[in-house]
């Protein structure tokens, strides 16, 4: 309980951004796009007459996404506790719909969505709501790609207005703990903050929190070894994809050795190309998700 209290105090001490919502344990924030002054077309109704009805709002715009372990949970089961928290914080729900009533494909592509791989939307399995609190507006978009769930929040606060502090209703743990929990429980974990475009093998200059966590885990468990396994989408021939996926894993291994001081004999790099997808490659969103690197524990 002390851990949760400390987390709550940290939120109150930080600038009031988008951490008003308490997500389930294991949820990891994937993206954080903040514009000091921008506009947003706030959906106010379902797709009709060729468009999604909206009104334009201006101010500080926050666009954030999370990935979480959905399991067998429905989009309603993911959204309902978040909606309860919003209402407890004084937001009024002004519009909500689910995929079929929203307008399916047309609503999805008629409203703003953070690009993949930071947000994934299944055309027939999503829910959306708009909410207001005084001059502040907020939208939530929830979808699934089992076993994962995805949450997008866009919030617009008038310039010069201080958002109310967050209200924590449920206990949670931060995304860092979630990644290590997944690793120790399942023996492998996707490194969500790494991303490669089709054919690319270079790892960017980002800090990549997942790599710091892996390095810390290896330091705390000196008898443990780890394999980094690269995966691709199904674009191109198998052998070429195996080579690309191996180079991606090798790039991650090199970063752990050079930037985090991990001993080279404790991590290996392998690639399996497109042979182990976690979703269909039939869509751009699916291909983005399949291009990944996983960490695998080697217990022996």
Residue 15 above 70 pLDDT? no
Mean pLDDT of 105-118: 91
Task: Examine the domain organization and report whether 116 and 210 are in the same domain.
Answer: no
Residue 232, Cβ neighbours under 10 Å: how many? Answer: 30
Residue 290 above 50 pLDDT? yes
Mean pLDDT of 116-142: 93
Residue 217 above 50 pLDDT? yes
Residue range(s) defining the domain that contains residue 185: 175-298
User: For the segment 65-80, what is each residue's pLDDT rounded down to a tens digit?
Assistant: 998 877 778 899 999 9
Q: What is the pTM of this model?
A: 0.57
Task: Examine the domain organization and report whether 127 and 258 are in the same domain.
Answer: no
Closest CA to 78 of 153, 7, 188, 190: 153
User: Reduced to 3 states, what is the DSSP secondary structure of residue 182?
Assistant: helix
- Report CA 292 to chain centroid distance, whole Å: 14
Task: Examine the domain organization and report whether 118 and 182 are in the same domain.
Answer: no
The domain that holds 124 is classified in CATH as: 3.40.1000
Q: Is residue 169 part of a domain?
A: no
Q: Is residue 165 part of a domain?
A: no
Which of 157, 190, 213 marks a domain boundary?
Answer: 157
Task: Examine the domain organization and report whether 134 and 191 are in the same domain.
Answer: no
Contact between 246 and 269 (Cβ < 8 Å)? yes
Give bridge partners of residue 61 from the DSSP assignment: 35, 156
Which of 157, 192, 218 marks a domain boundary?
Answer: 157
Q: Is residue 193 part of a domain?
A: yes
Task: Examine the domain organization and report whether 92 and 138 are in the same domain.
Answer: yes
User: Which residues are CB-contacts of 107 (< 8 A; sequence separation ≥ 6)?
Assistant: 43, 46, 47, 52, 97, 99, 128
Q: Is residue 163 part of a domain?
A: no
User: For the segment 145-196, what is each residue's pLDDT rounded down to a tens digit?
Assistant: 877 889 999 999 998 765 544 433 343 434 445 678 788 888 998 887 776 6
Kindly state the percentage of the chain with pLDDT values over 90: 55
Higher-pLDDT residue of 25, 226: 226
In the chain, the number of structural domains is: 2
């Amino acid at each position: 309980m002390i851990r949760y209290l400390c987390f709550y105090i940290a939120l109150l001490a930080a600038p009031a951004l988008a951490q008003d919502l308490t997500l389930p344990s294991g949820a990891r924030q994937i993206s954080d796009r903040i514009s000091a002054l921008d506009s947003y077309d706030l959906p106010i109704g379902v797709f009709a007459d060729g468009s999604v009805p909206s009104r334009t709002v201006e101010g500080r715009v926050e666009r954030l996404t999370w990935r979480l372990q959905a399991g067998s949970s429905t989009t309603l089961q993911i959204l309902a506790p978040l909606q309860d928290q919003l209402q407890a914080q004084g937001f009024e729900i002004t519009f909500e719909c689910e995929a079929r009533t929203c307008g399916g494909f047309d609503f999805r592509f008629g409203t703003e969505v953070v690009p993949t791989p930071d947000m994934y939307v299944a055309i027939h399995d999503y829910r959306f709501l708009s909410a207001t609190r005084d001059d502040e507006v907020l939208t939530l978009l929830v979808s699934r790609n089992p076993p994962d769930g995805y949450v997008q929040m866009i919030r617009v606060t008038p310039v010069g207005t201080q958002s109310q502090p967050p209200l924590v209703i449920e206990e949670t743990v931060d995304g860092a703990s979630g990644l290590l929990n997944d690793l120790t429980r399942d023996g492998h974990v996707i490194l969500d903050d790494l991303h490669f475009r089709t054919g690319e093998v270079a790892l960017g200059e980002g800090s990549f929190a997942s790599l710091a966590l892996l390095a810390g885990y290896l330091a705390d468990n000196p008898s443990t070894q780890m394999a980094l396994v690269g995966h691709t989408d199904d674009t191109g021939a198998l052998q070429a994809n195996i080579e690309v996926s191996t180079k991606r894993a090798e790039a991650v291994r090199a970063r752990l050795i050079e930037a985090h001081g991990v001993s080279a004999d404790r991590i290996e790099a392998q690639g399996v190309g497109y042979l182990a997808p976690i979703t269909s490659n039939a869509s751009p969103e699916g291909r983005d998700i399949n291009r990944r690197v996983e960490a695998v524990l080697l217990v022996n």
